Structure 1
Amino acid sequence: MANDKISPGMQQYLDVKAAYPDAFLLFRMGDFYELFYDDAVKAAQLLEISLTSRNKNADKPIPMAGVPYHSAQQYIDVLVEMGYKVAIAEQMEDPKKAVGVVKREVVQVITPGTAVDSTKPEAANNFLIALDSDGQQFGLSYMDLSTGEFYVTSLSDFAAVCSEIQNLKAKEVVLGFKPTEAEEAVLRKKMNLLLSYEEEKSQESQLLDDSLKALEYSAAAKLLQYIHQTQMRELSHLQKAVHYEIKDYLQMTYATKSSLDLLENARSGKKHGSLYWLLDDTKTAMGTRLLRTWIDRPLVNKDQILERQEIIQVFLDAFFERSDLTESLKGVYDIERLASRVSFGKANPKDLLQLGQTLDQVPLIKRLLENFASPSLEKLIQAIDPLPDLAALINAAIDPQAPASITEGGLIREGFDEKLDSYRKVMREGTSWIAEIEAKERQKSGITTLKIDYNRKDGYYFHVTNSNLSLVPEYFFRKATLKNSERFGTAELAKIEGQMLEAREESANLEYDIFMRIRSSVESYIQRLQELAKQLATVDVLQSLAVVAEKHHYVRPRFNHKHQIEIVQGRHAVVEKVMGVQEYIPNSIRLDSETMIQLITGPNMSGKSTYMRQLALTVIMAQMGSFVAAEAVELPLFDAIFTRIGAADDLISGQSTFMVEMMEANQAIKRASQSSLILFDELGRGTATYDGMALAQAIIEYIHEEVGAKTMFATHYHELTELSSSLTHLVNVHVATLEKDGEVTFLHKIAEGAADKSYGIHVAKIAGLPSSLLNRADRILYDLENSGANLPLKAKASLSAKEASQEQLSLFAVEDSHQELLNTLKQLDVTNLTPREAMNTLFDLKELL
């Protein structure tokens, strides 16, 4: 990469770059960050900036590209969002005072998992994950560097690890062990993660508890070490690692959350059309993040759920008090991230003013909560710490009109620091003092033309022409002699001059020092600020859920230990909001303690999937503490939700719809317990009819006999409804239809019993297929139904696998005349055919046909 003759500056660049081979190196040179060699070529393309060269006349000019230092963040954001690392090398000494090459060092490495200064700040968390493994289990730790949140758990298998990574929406994973090739391929290629490696553990840290398992401790320690290596500073906002267990929350795979549109609409990838969109009436960035967490991780502890419900009920019952509380939250800034900016040493006066304004709101918020006069709120009220000392410090110190820059002055309030005030007085009044001295000395000396001038060499001086030299007082002292005049000074003028020059030079420095002291004081409050942020976020989410519940007429769900579901006139909350209350048709759902499986039949497009999703969303909303869309709801507490809803190929891993179906079905039947909820929609449709039907029946029977989970199984195989006669805990329901004069209307209403037919051709008609095609389909259907091809399930259920296979083949039975073709095909040794032989054989087969 290097040229034969290389300058000391470029050698310095190469030495630094050698330590960061996997990162773009932004090398500070004056007012620009420069990139060289391959970094320059690649960055010019990615960032759409000009590619130039250094030493243009040399045999091998060095490719070069640069970005202005004051706007570098936007370019850094682009690279990081694309999944790259960026190392920032700064000038560590003043170039004017440097001897030889200016000393430069990397001061920070910004990676997708550690980015905190984005020019496009988002409310959502940015989690960095670290993984460690002992070959049997995995330790997983994650942190949001912008808020300091820090968590750790252990997982039994790699599938659970992948699910947790997807749930956390991580972009970067730090590996503390050597993964297998298959594991690395999944993480890097299938999940599109930036993989970093960290073998070293940080030394003992107060953030890590000895009660953690060895693998958890190791993963968390390696995460801390990686953060230390990339950020190169001590960070006081990092919180103590919190141990959690997956089973402490309602378990859902990433595929389940995606199919239910919890945090984003699966089709658009946008917030609109998701449960998060429906429930988000938060007023603060902290509340928005916490709401996402609550949706992502509903509770399984009944007491914790009831605690949230109680507060929502209190807020619902007091409209005016809640309205005042909601309004007060609008003045709350993101103090979690403000605290991290203080910790990083990046907080500016505007940040502290926002912090001060937030702290000014806290006593009001606390008073408004007290006005509800509810015991349910006492714990929350007591936990809210207004930090009066910090609020007073910021209000007393920081000028409300302070600029964002910390080097330009104007940061500190008048009256906060005596010395600074004296400097400002000198700067403000110095000119008038000079004018006063000039007038006084003109009168005392009698020199009518006496005036005070200033230049950089002599400073302030009295200008006296030669004709007036005899009138100069004795206390004047000579500063300079010119051809026609002389310059004089006095002790008084020198004193004023000294004060003014000192004020001018020292005022900005003093302000900077005072601001740094204040920022350091704020840093000592970080832990209390983070705790306050948690409490304010909780208040925000609970008021948001109350507002949404009132707006959409949601009810408070009750929980039972009888393992029964009773939902009266339930609605799919998100679909209802999209469609409007008038158009949405509610459905009641009832599965008593004896009913395990609801088999749902009816045509596609009639609302089976919505009905199933309605139950899942009701459970999720209930277990996150929210009120729900229904007239009345009683539920058991579920430990997990498993779904297979919607069909999609997994193109990246090369898996078909049917393979994805089977894998998700396998996850459900292996991991579900009696306290789980399973939702299967049209399982088995990805293969041949009898294959699919056989699998669907076997899965239903397995869930019934072996798993015992509450299950909704929607199917277009209406023959499966015969199972209700042999499976005692299965009931049939169907989507009601209205058929008149050959026209079918789907009522989107669930009724008891089985559907009498599948109405597939009617769906095709609604979709607009040509009438001639539909008429032909009707004739084919009539022929099939009358030829006995559609055997009743009881008869099919008794067939052996071999007989079922033969029966399926009989639908497409071959004539005797084709037997020769079949025999020829059977005898072919395909693996050993040469290309020429294969071609000849193909011609022969065509002749036989």
Structure 2
Amino acid sequence: MDAALGAPQKMRERAEDLTPMMAQYFELTDRYDDSLVLFQVGDFYEAFCEAAERVARLCEITLTKREDSTGEYPMAGIPIDNAESYVETLLDAGYRVAIADQVEDPDEVSGVVERAVTRIITPGTLTEDELLGGADNNYVAALAVENGRYGLALLDVSTGDCYATGSDSLSTIEDEISRFGPAEAIVGPEMSPDTFDGNCMVTPYDETVFEHERASDLVGEYFGPPERLLASDVEVRACGALLDYAEYTRGGAGVGEDGQLDYLNHLTRYDPREYMVLDAVALDSLEVFDRRAVRSPEGLTLVEALDETACALGRRKLTDWLRRPLLERDRIERRHEAVGELHGDVQTRERLHDRLREVYDIERLISRVSRGRANARDVNSLGATLSVVPDVREQLADADSAQLQSLHDRLDDLPEIRRLIDDAIAEDPPPELTEGGIVAAGYDETLDELRATERSGKDWIDDLEARERERTGIDSLKVGHTAVHGYYIEVTDANLDRVPEDYQRRQTLKNSERYYTPELKEREDEIIRAEQRADDREYDLFVDVRNEIAAESERVQDLADALAELDVLVSFATVAAEFDYTKPEIADEGIDIEGGRHPVVERTEDSFVPNGAHFDDEQRFAIVTGPNMSGKSTYMRQIALVSLLAQAGSFVPAERASLRIVDRVFTRVGASDDIAGGRSTFMIEMTELAEILDHATEQSLILLDEVGRGTSTTDGLAIAQAVTEYVHDEIGATTLFATHHHDLTAAADDLPSVFNLHFRTTREDGQVVFEHAVAPGAAEASYGVEVAGVAGVPDAVVDRAADLLAEETAASDASVDPGTNGHEVTPAVHNGAGSDTETDIRAALREVSIAETTPLEALQTLADLKSRVED
């Protein structure tokens, strides 16, 4: 964000010399100095001076100038009726945009028209459909800290979704930020903006709004006593600050008389431990919402593969369910039962899908209604949705599953609101509210009378041309109307001698004259009065209707939530039927999958080889070997995705699945250098590994892919071995560890819960054939040289690599002592130093307390001991 764009210093020094309009502009830029002010002048939003230069450059528009008695000012303007595209450009450039609208009618004001900032548009507080760019939620967050505890609040201003949580662990809060991916955040005192990623606009906000008393009062005004809703003072502070910021960005427009955003009526406080944790690394590597940069841009994400939703409400709910898979068995199984019933009843499922396609985004509609920004078409869209609800409800009347029965009861079609909309709003109203035609005939007697008067006058004028032609004998006489001059009778110059005496000149043109008659003027005044009164009454009537609807915003939001849930359940059932998913069993222990498939990869491959997975207390740590491209990473990810889908409430891509509940999925499946942050690939890998070892539990699922690749083979193997032992002995999580360190497979002989899996590979005519099928035991080789050939490495390089590998293998075989049963023996050190070093290392190891050593400390100790050996 650039520096403040208020009045230049020289302007402040001679503010008394400015014209009233320019003084008003600079007063607003000073008041909203964190934003770029767009100032309404007629049909344009204008910026002046330095701000104008930036707007012109960024929006690629012409920089002009304004001259008045006080000087000359650079000026750049964007058309109001196409402002959204320019505002989007300014947002992308890192600006907040303050919209200063005219709040008085220029025709009724003598002197300068009053302007006020009606809204501040920021990345996290968008409500305009053109800027939101899709159905997904758009969150703004607030983060506070107090006595080592963190409070996080999130709000989607466009829908009213509001969440709060707290934790003693910053990493837990960071995981929640990754879940929701806010577009913008404000942070309180002592909080670093670095907690949020680079895609989020972060601002240290006014410290006073984070003060507990002020925040508590504001939370209470919106949602009720904060002590009943939130778990700690710091959560109250975060929520209160966020509500204050939301009000600030509305600029007073669309808020209630007490300053509130009236449609914000429900706060969801949740504990992160209620849901499966998916941190940023897991979401990225599993491609839940975004494709990884290294993959083809044409590939699907998980949410895209699961998205058969019919409306925007369902799409947002699907994202939320995948973002927060459940941990409570009863809730998971209720969703599975509902999906199963819809899966089995094709007619009901398809009927529901067809009707849900007629549902508008009523969450955002009721938000616009409550903020006073909905037009008549928005209101009709709400009415159209309400008219669908009775049939949707009827389809669920005989439902057996508890979840569908609950949805049936929650589908409130708000009959009084539906009747109000049907009676009050015209069938096809214009988008503008001030031009008439928005209120239906028969709704208001006074309005009907005014419209009848208006029509009668226009009918009289429609007949005037024929009557005057007959009266005057002038066949070319015309009757017309202009916005400036009103109604007129036009006569060409050639016929001026035939003009009656009662014609009074109104306007002279090049080849004709325009007149009016006293009777025409009387009719015109009558029409204008009736039309203006009718337009004003229509607007007032519409506002009354809109306010009545806004009063029921909570009921509309509850209906929206029910429709969204139903849409996701129908989508899950549709995907299950189309792609042969099966209902998973939620078990107390183990992961047992037969014929499992990757839900995304199977859509993009010509053929996909299903594979099973079997984990229990006796076998919970699989070391997976096999060449690159054989399917190791896909296999590991598909197990994680099957668990994720099951806990989200979906059926799963498998022949059969019995799954215990997983509290968290950890993934360590590749990294890239962070040059700007000063971290190498290996450092990123070790940081992610430390996170896993510090936070994994026995109920977690860990995916490890080639730990230790960023260092020497010896170091990498040592780290891999230590990690395997630590996860096995200290954590006990279900783990899949893909590796090319074939020596690591020996762990299956020493650690009781470790077992080996490999991907079968054969040679045909000298070529490697990947079967993509998993089998027990360790792979015989990595086939790295052969894979290089498949990848297109030049034959000369591949052949030379094969020769070098053969030489290395022969040398290795020759160095093996027959008395060692085929295992290599480390040569003894033949000087006193070696013996002393071994003694020191043994002593150091005895001093290590395994129970009290963190994973990161264990890795550091290992590195230190290895360094001493090498020295």
- TM-score of the aligned structures, taking structure 2 as reference length: 0.82
Match of 1:52 among 61, 64, 78: 64
Q: 1:271 to 1:371 in 2, by over 3 A?
A: farther
Match of 2:610 among 583, 586, 593: 586
Determine if contact 1:153/1:243 at 8 Å carries over to the other structure.
yes
Q: Equivalents in 2 of 1:588, 1:438: separation in Å?
A: 87
Look up the equivalent residue of 1:137 and give its one-letter code.
R
Determine if contact 1:80/1:115 at 8 Å carries over to the other structure.
no
- 1:552 paired to 2:576: no
- 1:80 paired to 2:97: no
Instruction: Encode CA deviations 1:1-20: one digit per residue, 9 max, x unaligned.
Output: 23575423323222221122
Offset at 1:95? 3.3
Instruction: Encode CA deviations 1:485-537: one digit per residue, 9 max, x unaligned.
Output: xx9999xx999888645322211111111111111111111110000000000
Matches within 5 A, 1:472-491: none
- 1:520 paired to 2:547: yes
Q: Equivalents in 2 of 1:262, 1:139: separation in Å?
A: 26
Match of 2:635 among 608, 611, 621: 611
Q: Which moved more, 1:771-780 or 1:398-407?
A: 771-780
Matches within 5 A, 1:759-770: 759-770=783-794
Q: Equivalents in 1 of 2:360, 2:553: separation in Å?
A: 15
Instruction: Encode CA deviations 1:702-732: one digit per residue, 9 max, x unaligned.
Output: 0011000000000001111111111011001
Look up the equivalent residue of 2:544 and give its one-letter code.
R
Matches within 5 A, 1:101-500: 101-120=112-131, 121-179=133-191, 183-185=192-194, 187=196, 190=198, 192-199=200-207, 200=209, 201-202=214-215, 203-204=217-218, 205-207=221-223, 209-211=226-228, 212=230, 213-233=232-252, 234=255, 235-267=261-293, 272-372=299-399, 376-430=403-457, 500=527
Question: Which residue of structure 1 lines up, in the alignment, with residue 560 of structure 2?
Answer: 533
Q: 1:49 to 1:57 in 2, by over 3 A?
A: farther
Instruction: Encode CA deviations 1:624-677: one digit per residue, 9 max, x unaligned.
Output: 010011110001111011011133223442322211111111111111111000
Question: Which residue of structure 1 lines up, in the alignment, with residue 854 of structure 2?
Answer: none
Question: Which residue of structure 2 lines up, in the alignment, with residue 576 of structure 1?
Answer: 602
Q: Equivalents in 1 of 2:398, 2:553: separation in Å?
A: 29
Offset at 1:479? 14
Determine if contact 1:366/1:381 at 8 Å carries over to the other structure.
yes
Offset at 1:92? 2.9
Determine if contact 1:556/1:628 at 8 Å carries over to the other structure.
yes
Q: Equivalents in 2 of 1:418, 1:731: separation in Å?
A: 83
Is the partner of 2:609 in helix, strand or coil?
A: coil
Q: 1:330 to 1:435 in 2, by over 3 A?
A: closer
Determine if contact 1:174/1:198 at 8 Å carries over to the other structure.
no
Q: Equivalents in 2 of 1:418, 1:514: separation in Å?
A: 12
Offset at 1:369? 1.6
Q: Equivalents in 2 of 1:429, 1:99: separation in Å?
A: 34
Is the partner of 2:701 in helix, strand or coil?
A: strand
Q: Equivalents in 1 of 2:517, 2:287: separation in Å?
A: 83
Offset at 1:96? 4.2
Q: 1:38 to 1:185 in 2, by over 3 A?
A: farther
Q: What root-mean-square deviation, in Å, do the aligned CA atoms of Structure 1 and Structure 2 show?
A: 3.8
Q: Which moved more, 1:311-320 or 1:425-434?
A: 425-434
Question: Which residue of structure 1 lines up, in the alignment, with residue 498 of structure 2?
Answer: none
Q: 1:425 to 1:92 in 2, by over 3 A?
A: closer
Is the partner of 1:627 in helix, strand or coil?
A: coil
Q: Equivalents in 1 of 2:676, 2:68: separation in Å?
A: 45
Offset at 1:107? 1.9
Q: 1:803 to 1:727 in 2, by over 3 A?
A: farther
Question: Which residue of structure 1 lines up, in the alignment, with residue 733 of structure 2?
Answer: 709
Offset at 1:371? 4.8
Q: Equivalents in 1 of 2:100, 2:487: separation in Å?
A: 41
Offset at 1:276? 0.6
- 1:753 paired to 2:753: no
Q: Equivalents in 2 of 1:297, 1:700: separation in Å?
A: 29
Look up the equivalent residue of 2:159 and give its one-letter code.
T
Look up the equivalent residue of 1:752 and give its one-letter code.
P
Q: 1:761 to 1:109 in 2, by over 3 A?
A: same
Q: 1:739 to 1:390 in 2, by over 3 A?
A: same
Question: Which residue of structure 2 lines up, in the alignment, with residue 718 of structure 1?
Answer: 742
Question: Which residue of structure 1 lines up, in the alignment, with residue 860 of structure 2?
Answer: none
Q: Equivalents in 2 of 1:40, 1:543: separation in Å?
A: 51
Q: 1:286 to 1:503 in 2, by over 3 A?
A: same
Q: 1:432 to 1:666 in 2, by over 3 A?
A: closer
Determine if contact 1:264/1:271 at 8 Å carries over to the other structure.
no
Q: 1:431 to 1:221 in 2, by over 3 A?
A: closer
Q: Equivalents in 2 of 1:506, 1:361: separation in Å?
A: 36
Question: Which residue of structure 2 lines up, in the alignment, with residue 673 of structure 1?
Answer: 697
Q: Equivalents in 2 of 1:747, 1:196: separation in Å?
A: 55
Determine if contact 1:735/1:748 at 8 Å carries over to the other structure.
yes
Determine if contact 1:77/1:118 at 8 Å carries over to the other structure.
no
Instruction: Encode CA deviations 1:524-561: one digit per residue, 9 max, x unaligned.
Output: 11110000000000110000000000000110000111
Q: Which moved more, 1:524-533 or 1:376-385?
A: 376-385
Question: Which residue of structure 2 lines up, in the alignment, with residue 821 of structure 1?
Answer: none
Q: Which moved more, 1:748-757 or 1:375-384?
A: 375-384
Look up the equivalent residue of 1:613 and give its one-letter code.
R
Is the partner of 1:362 in helix, strand or coil?
A: helix
Match of 1:654 among 652, 660, 678: 678
Offset at 1:93? 2.6
Determine if contact 1:557/1:628 at 8 Å carries over to the other structure.
yes
Q: Equivalents in 2 of 1:165, 1:624: separation in Å?
A: 19
Offset at 1:741? 4.8
Question: Which residue of structure 1 lines up, in the alignment, with residue 510 of structure 2?
Answer: none
Question: Which residue of structure 2 lines up, in the alignment, with residue 473 of structure 1?
Answer: none
Q: 1:799 to 1:527 in 2, by over 3 A?
A: farther
Offset at 1:695? 0.1
Question: Which residue of structure 1 lines up, in the alignment, with residue 76 of structure 2?
Answer: 65
Offset at 1:35? 0.8
- 1:567 paired to 2:593: yes
Is the partner of 1:512 in helix, strand or coil?
A: helix
- Figure out how many residues of one structure are paired with residues of the other and give that number: 776
Q: Equivalents in 2 of 1:794, 1:661: separation in Å?
A: 30
Q: 1:158 to 1:776 in 2, by over 3 A?
A: same
Look at both structures and tell me which one has the larger radius of gyration over its CA atoms.
1
Matches within 5 A, 1:628-667: 628-667=652-691
Identity among equivalent pairs (%): 37
Matches within 5 A, 1:7-46: 7-8=18-19, 9-46=21-58
Offset at 1:439? 14
Q: Equivalents in 2 of 1:170, 1:377: separation in Å?
A: 32
Q: Equivalents in 1 of 2:139, 2:703: separation in Å?
A: 30
Look up the equivalent residue of 2:100 and give its one-letter code.
A
Look up the equivalent residue of 1:114 and give its one-letter code.
T
Instruction: Encode CA deviations 1:204-231: one digit per residue, 9 max, x unaligned.
Output: 4232532311110110001011111221
Where structure 1 has 5 or more consecutive residues not aligned to the other structure, the ranges are 441-447, 461-477, 481-486, 808-849
Q: Which moved more, 1:66-75 or 1:210-219?
A: 66-75
Q: 1:285 to 1:689 in 2, by over 3 A?
A: same
Where structure 2 has 5 or more consecutive residues not aligned to the other structure, the ranges are 1-7, 256-260, 468-472, 489-501, 505-515, 839-871
Determine if contact 2:189/2:204 at 8 Å carries over to the other structure.
no
Offset at 1:782? 2.0
Q: Equivalents in 1 of 2:702, 2:566: separation in Å?
A: 33
